[in-house]
Each structure stands twice: as C-alpha cells, then as structure tokens.
C-alpha cells in the first residue's frame, strides 16, 4: 500500500533499459542498485518502483542520524523500508557501515545505495565523488550485480527543506549492470560506476 502511495504522489515510472527486473525463469538475482542522491525521496521511490518480489528482498541503505530522527521516520525506515541504517558521523570499528551492509548481503538482501554518501546539489549536472564503499562491496562479493539507477525530477518533487511533495512526474531508470573486473583498481571501478549513472542522465536529457 505504501509503495502504491509513493508511486501515486511522485508519478514515478520504472524504466528497465539495461536489465530486466527478474530472470526469464522468474528467479531473482541479488543486486546492489546505486544512484545519485538528490532528495530524501530517492531511496523510498527506488524501493517503491521495484516489483513486489524484488521489493520484499531489497533494503535501502540510509543514514541513521536522519531516519532515526523522529518516530515517523523511524517507523518508515525500520518497519516499512526495512532499511540498513548506517552511522555516518561517529564511525567506529564496531559500527563501520561496510560491516552492516555486508551482513545484509550475506543474509540474502539486495541493497539500494548512494555512493556519493549524501545529498548533492547537482544543478550543474555533475555527479559528486563516489566514496569507496561500493568498491569494497564489489570486491567482497564479486558475483553480485551492481545496477546504476537514474533518477529524474525527484529533487524538484521534494526540494531540500520541504516536507510535502510537489506534483511533478518522476522517472526511475535502471541501467546496465556492472561487476568488478579481475584486478580492476578502485579508481577505475568507481569511474565505471559514475559513467553508468551519467549515461542514464544523458539518455534522459536526449529523450526529454
């Protein structure tokens, strides 16, 4: 029900251009869906755009300091999204975000991840630098697919500082999956990840 409400409020349409949601035989692959971060709606809308079978096995990675900030956000993150809440301000060896994400993957979950690490002001059309966490996950789980996700208009639907969404149609585009290549260096993998999102953004601009 909540997924349907999110799709209704944002008008979000899922476009699977580089990969299918499930295999031809209906089986589900474990994946990491990664996107640029523009709005607090990003993770919930990507989650809501997935078919129900995928949605049940996919957990957004989200900042504990924001989503644990009040009872409403806490309920949405833990009871609805079943988010993997990570520490981003007081990181210690015991609460290392990588350990929490790795545990979720080993438990069979797919993840929704934002490699920039926070909301970015991308009015200039440029992506922020990707943090190395996505590379470490790819190295730890070499068979895992990493699927870039392009987000269109979510920063206009819920601008920073606003609480109620504006009625603007959004799009969630799932691109071509990546895997870490043998002996691929961290900068090269991060560059390929950024390129995967940039290609989707360029395609959206051409189609507009």
For the domain that residue 92 is a member of, what is the CATH number?
A: 3.40.1130.10
Alpha-helical runs (H) found in 50-178: 52-55, 64-67, 71-75, 97-106, 133-140, 154-157
Tens digits of residue pLDDT in 111-124 = 999 998 765 555 55
Instruction: Please give the pLDDT value at position 101.
Output: 95
Contacts of 158 (CB under 8 A, 6+ apart): 39, 40, 41, 165, 166
Domain count, the chain: 1
The whole model's pTM is what?
0.85
Tens digits of residue pLDDT in 153-189 = 554 444 454 444 444 566 789 999 999 999 999 999 9
Domain that holds residue 67: 2-207
Helix (H) or strand (E) holding 199: helix 186-207
Contacts of 140 (CB under 8 A, 6+ apart): 102
């Amino acid at each position: 029900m909540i997924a349907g409400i999110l799709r209704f409020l944002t008008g979000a349409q899922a476009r699977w251009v580089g990969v299918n949601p499930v295999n031809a035989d209906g089986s589900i692959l474990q994946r990491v869906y990664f996107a640029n971060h523009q709005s607090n709606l990003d993770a919930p809308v990507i989650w809501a755009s997935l078919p129900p079978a995928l949605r049940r096995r996919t957990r957004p990675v989200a900042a504990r300091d924001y989503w644990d900030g009040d009872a409403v956000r806490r309920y949405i993150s833990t009871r609805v999204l079943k988010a993997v809440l990570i520490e981003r301000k007081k990181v210690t060896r015991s609460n290392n975000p990588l350990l929490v994400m790795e545990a979720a993957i080993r438990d069979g979950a797919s993840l929704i991840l934002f490699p920039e690490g926070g909301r970015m002001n991308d009015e200039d059309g440029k992506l922020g630098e990707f943090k190395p966490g996505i590379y470490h996950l790819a190295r730890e789980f070499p068979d895992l697919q990493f699927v870039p996700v392009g987000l269109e208009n979510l920063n206009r639907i819920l601008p920073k500082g606003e609480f109620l969404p504006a009625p603007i149609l959004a799009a969630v585009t799932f691109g071509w999956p990546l895997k870490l290549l043998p002996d691929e260096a961290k900068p090269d993998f991060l560059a390929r990840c950024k390129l995967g999102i940039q290609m989707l953004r360029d395609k959206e601009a051409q189609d507009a």
